Structure 1
Amino acid sequence: MSDEVNEMILVFIEHKDCILNKTSLEAIAAAQSIAKDLGLKVSAVLPCDKDCALAQEIAGYDIEKVIVARNEKLGSYTPDGYADAWENIIKAFSPKYVVMAHTYQVRDFAPKVAARFGREVVGDCIRYVPDGGSILLTRRVFLGKLDADVRLGGDAPYFVTFQSGAFRGDNAAKGSAAIETVDVAVGDIRMRPEPPFQEAKASVDLTKSEVIVAVGRGIKSQENIALAEQLAAALGGDL
């Protein structure tokens, strides 16, 4: 990474087989908000093994460019591959901030990337406020019992992840962005993740749900769950 830090934010675009994880739109909205407050530019980073149609979709947002980090080893997620790709991109573009949604995948590889730059990840943040020429972040601690304010110190890049729902994906401003493909070097893949844990065959990914209907002990009996299922269906949500 060069000594000169560019006044830009890089946003991670998470996907599977070029199908977008919607929390990435929340990350774009967060980055746009920070950029507006601090006078920075935003670019999105899309790791992939080929020219991905998702790049065109992300280019429809108000950012400077979509950077497709391309390598044949990035066809599916691995922490080694993604860490190598991100190290390449950060060294090439020297961003001030790296902003991501706080997903399981990000929790897996982001600390690995940050450590390569001697930095830490300020994770699972729920909000921020401008703090001079920087930002003051708030994250929940002690199982959500306390809110802790975190001030960024040291040199850039700063790695920040935001909790799902901290920003609304539909608030991400639309626009038109350029697409730049960067061939990145990826070393040996030593770790390969197991298939994602699924508690039951009928389970859903609640991070992608627009409406969630939840029940607890008040439902009294198994037979009454049908009422909650009907409510979820009427609301177009998930149980």
Structure 2
Amino acid sequence: MKIRTIAFDADDTLWHNERFFRLTQDKFAALLADHAAPESLSQTLLAAERRNLGRYGYGIKGFVLSMIETAIEVTDARVPAEVISQILDAGKEMLAHPIELLPHAEEAVQSLSDTHRILLITKGDLLDQERKLAQSGLGDLFHGVEIVSEKTAVTYGRIFADCPGGAESALMAGNSMKSDVVPVIEAGAHGVYVPHGQVWELEKAEAPRDNPRFFEIKNLGVLPALLEEIEAA
């Protein structure tokens, strides 16, 4: 099997992301400490995020709106305007945060870009994802960039259909089992799970460990060696 297309997830695969959400959520908990315990507030916020995915999609802006909605809920609609202002400021700070590449990310993309078709497939707010890609310094290494509203088997099938060899010759590497692995395998491609220390609750899923197209590596530095194994099998 010759792998001809390699796709990478962006957030928490190529650069840090979730830890900034966690830090902001800690600030949010401090702001509302008089109204809700941290664990209860976290569950209320998660429920709001789950409800709002269909309205706001993924990303910082939807997260901020869900925090405001949660603040209104836990204060019985008496949240001070100053708290709303601080939530908005926290969101703006997240949107301005510099990009920090994860270990081995640049080397992996660079080393494979000369021998394979390299894609970036990410979801979230268009402007924010474009900003992060531009600041990452990796943009010129990709042969194509797809910023999608949701990562499904249909989405991956459409993307890989336009690639040499189709889905069977494609591989996706990412940190989300739910978005970067399971639907990729359902589309007929190879899914490579690259664990990250922090995973958003809504991105968790069972690993398809019995599927021969499922692989797991400790970091992107191992990806070139894994490709050799797959192609030699």
Common fold: TM-score over 0.5: no
- Higher helix content, 1 or 2: 2
Q: TM-score range by the shorter chain?
A: 0.3 to 0.5
More strand by share: 1
Relative to the length of structure 1, the TM-score reads 0.36
Q: TM-score with structure 2 length normalisation? A: 0.36
